[in-house]
């Protein structure tokens, strides 16, 4: 009796361990590669290429800089469809009947493992573009900005600040100073479109 | 050799190496500038190797906002990598930076200006400046276009108090209904005026440009500390920019090609700005007059302190050393 229980427990442990491992293997495929690489401005091109390798395309710019495009292995957010299906089947079988789940293990574990191995050998690649200056310092995440007339505007002071800046501290009852104040505030409000 | 001789030799070597290193450091210059044809002197100086001819290794980082350039300049104090030496910004931002840094930021030279690029686009029935009285006028408040409008109104005996100003970004002109009751005119920078005229046909017209009233400027600025600590760099930069200025003026096709290859720009867009640009690298009486008017307007708008004295906005030492003939006798803007 105890020997039989021991065998059952051993089989159960192996299956649980196997199922856990296969789930981990499926999940592990999402940790390979990297997110979109970002480097601080003025990083040397050499450091970028130490991480990303040689560019797949280089376009010289007329100011002496270059735009370089790199290929990198992208991190895949989710396991592939087979991996996801295997994990879903594990959960569904467990909810339905633990015995069915046990029976399915010999099928699911190799499937999950195969899906994970396939994910490792079927990497997803993305491209990222950086712009470097004539000294090979990183200037742009992407390409240089588009041509554009930019009429930088200054922000309007607050109403309180507009009023305060008109107030030159006249004594109470100084009607000339009060008139100057009203003129000043009226003009400033008009300039900022305040009715 | 005595110990004393060895010590003197070591000190001499250290001084020589330090001087050589300082010279090398001074040769590397980072300039932040907008991707505009008005800065084509910079484009051509970079593309034609004029900076190298002056012994400078100049990197120009193109930034789409002058505010971003000034922020980078502010943050680059004491930085080694990415320390910004010069910025190219509009005249209004330059004055604002000068005020907010209590005079530490200075304008080394105006690079270029443009009047035709600022346009008053009015509905067809508005045929004179006087017809704008009490009417709604849209513009980007706090911008050069708003200052241009102020000068235009003043030149015709009015002020902002005689109209109803409305804050609208320039692209709003493209969805403007000229037949609507609220807005009789827009004051915008090109290419928005041309696009609005194309879109609305005879319903609108070009009432005026800034010509005769004001100019929008691009100026070269730096911190006074940088100029003090890197004597001679600004002069070399100005000489290279002057060659770039002359090359740009004489080689339109090179400017168009630079914009196409650098920014992927359609030639027609650059061509309009190229034609309207007046390349300066100097302080002429018009600069003095415009700055005086701008200071007055900014004080009226509450953007400059009443006691601010902008005579120290310019740091003209490098320009005086390089092109003394390009300084107006009254080369400092003063309040009017």
What are A39-68's pLDDT values in tens digits?
A: 998 999 999 999 999 999 999 999 999 999
> Which chain A residue's Cα is nearest to B307?
A165
B141·A153 Cβ contact <8 A: yes
Specify whether B24 is located in the same domain as B49: yes
Count structural domains, chain B: 2
Q: Token pair for residue B116?
A: 């035709």
Asked, for residue B272, whether it belongs to a domain, the answer is: yes
B90·A135 Cβ contact <8 A: no
What are B125-169's pLDDT values in tens digits?
A: 999 999 999 999 999 999 999 999 999 999 999 999 999 999 999
Q: What angle do CA A118, A120, A125 make, to 5 degrees?
A: 110
Asked, for residue B290, whether it belongs to a domain, the answer is: yes
Asked, for residue B332, whether it belongs to a domain, the answer is: no
Q: How far is CA A106 from CA A13, A111, A136, in A?
A: 13, 9, 56
Q: Token pair for residue A155?
A: 């922000």
Asked, for residue B321, whether it belongs to a domain, the answer is: yes
CATH code of the domain in which B30 resides: 3.40.190.10
* CA–CA min distance B96, chain A (Å): 8
pLDDT at B20 exceeding the cut of 50: no
Domain final residue, candidates B209, B233, B256: B209
**A41 vs A11, which has greater pLDDT?**
A41
Specify whether B229 is located in the same domain as B164: no
Contacts of B273 in chain A (CB under 8 A): 149
Q: Using pLDDT thresholds of 50, 70 and 90, give the confidence band for residue B312.
A: confident
Cβ-count burial A141-158 (b if 16+ within 10 Å, e if not): eebbbebebbbbbbebbe
What are B53-66's pLDDT values in tens digits?
A: 999 999 999 998 89
Question: Is A158 an 8 Å CB contact of chain B?
Answer: no
Contacts of A42 in chain B (CB under 8 A): 81-82
Q: Using pLDDT thresholds of 50, 70 and 90, give the confidence band for residue B283.
A: very high
H or E stretch including A58?
strand A57-60
| Residue ranges of A 172-191 with Cβ closer than 8 A to chain B | 186-188, 190-191
* DSSP, res A20: H
Domain that holds residue B102: 3-114+216-326
> Which chain B residue's Cα is nearest to A59?
B261
Backbone angles phi, psi at B227, to 5 degrees: -65, -40
pLDDT at B244 exceeding the cut of 80: yes
For residues B107 and A167, the answer to whether their CB atoms sit within 8 Å is no
Q: Token pair for residue B175?
A: 């969805």
Q: How far is CA A64 from CA A43, A133, A136, in A?
A: 17, 7, 9
What pLDDT is stored for residue B24 in this prediction? 40
* CA–CA min distance B268, chain A (Å): 12
Asked, for residue B335, whether it belongs to a domain, the answer is: no
Please name the residues in contact with B276: beta carbons below 8 A apart, sequence gap of 6 or more: B114, B115, B116, B117, B190
Specify whether B95 is located in the same domain as B14: yes
Domains of chain A by residue range: 2-141, 159-191
Domain final residue, candidates B176, B209, B242: B209
Question: Is A6 an 8 Å CB contact of chain B?
Answer: no
Contacts of B276 in chain A (CB under 8 A): none
Q: Token pair for residue B226?
A: 């940088």
What are B90-131's pLDDT values in tens digits?
A: 999 999 999 999 999 999 999 999 999 999 999 999 999 999
> Which chain A residue's Cα is nearest to B43?
A63
């Amino acid at each position: 009796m105890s020997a039989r229980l021991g065998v059952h427990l051993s089989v159960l442990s192996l299956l649980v361990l196997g199922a856990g491992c296969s789930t981990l293997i499926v999940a592990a495929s999402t940790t390979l590669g990297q997110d979109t690489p970002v480097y601080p401005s003025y990083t040397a091109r050499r450091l970028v290429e130490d991480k990303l390798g040689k560019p797949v395309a280089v376009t010289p710019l007329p100011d002496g800089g270059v735009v370089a495009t790199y290929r990198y292995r992208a991190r895949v957010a989710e396991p592939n469809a087979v991996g996801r299906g295997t994990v879903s089947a594990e959960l569904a079988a467990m909810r339905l009947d633990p015995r069915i789940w046990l029976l399915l293990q010999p099928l699911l574990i190799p499937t999950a493992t195969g899906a994970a191995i396939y994910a490792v050998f079927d990497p997803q690649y993305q491209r990222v573009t950086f712009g470097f200056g004539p000294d090979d310092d990183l200037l742009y995440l992407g390409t240089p900005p588009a041509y554009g007339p930019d009429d930088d505007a200054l922000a309007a002071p607050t109403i309180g600040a507009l009023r305060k800046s008109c107030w030159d501290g006249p004594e109470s009852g100084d009607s000339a100073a009060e008139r100057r104040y009203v003129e000043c505030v009226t003009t400033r409000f008009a300039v900022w479109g305040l009715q | 050799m005595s110990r004393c001789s060895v010590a003197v030799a070591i000190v001499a070597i250290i001084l020589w190496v330090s001087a050589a290193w300082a010279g090398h450091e001074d040769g590397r210059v980072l300039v932040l500038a907008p991707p505009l044809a008005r800065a084509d002197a910079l484009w051509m100086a970079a593309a034609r190797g004029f900076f190298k001819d002056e012994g400078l290794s100049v990197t120009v980082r193109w930034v789409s906002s002058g505010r971003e350039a000034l922020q980078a300049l502010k943050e680059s104090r004491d930085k080694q990598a990415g320390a910004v030496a010069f910025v190219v910004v509009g005249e209004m931002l330059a004055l604002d930076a000068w005020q907010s840094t209590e005079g530490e930021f200075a304008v080394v030279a105006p690079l270029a200006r443009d009047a035709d690029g600022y346009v008053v686009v009015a509905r067809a029935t508005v045929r004179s400046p006087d017809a704008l009285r009490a009417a709604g006028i849209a513009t980007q408040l706090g911008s050069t276009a708003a200052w241009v409008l102020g000068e235009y109104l003043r030149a015709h005996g009015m002020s902002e108090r005689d109209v109803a100003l409305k804050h609208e970004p320039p692209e709003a002109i493209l969805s403007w209904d000229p037949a609507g009751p609220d807005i009789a005119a827009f004051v915008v920078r090109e290419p928005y005026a041309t696009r609005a005229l194309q879109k609305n046909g005879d319903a609108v017209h070009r009432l005026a440009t800034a010509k005769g009233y004001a100019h929008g400027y691009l100026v070269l600025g730096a911190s006074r500390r940088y100029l003090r600590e890197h004597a001679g760099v600004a002069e070399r930069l100005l000489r290279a920019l002057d060659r770039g200025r002359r090359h740009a003026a004489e080689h339109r096709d090179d400017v168009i090609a630079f914009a196409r290859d650098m920014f992927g720009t359609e030639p027609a867009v650059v061509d309009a700005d190229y034609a309207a640009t007046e390349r300066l690298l100097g302080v002429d009486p018009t600069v003095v007059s415009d700055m005086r008017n701008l200071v007055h307007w900014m004080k009226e708008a509450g953007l400059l302190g009443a006691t601010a004295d902008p005579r120290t906005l310019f740091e003209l030492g490098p320009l005086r050393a390089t092109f003394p003939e390009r300084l107006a006798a009254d080369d400092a803007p003063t309040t009017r």
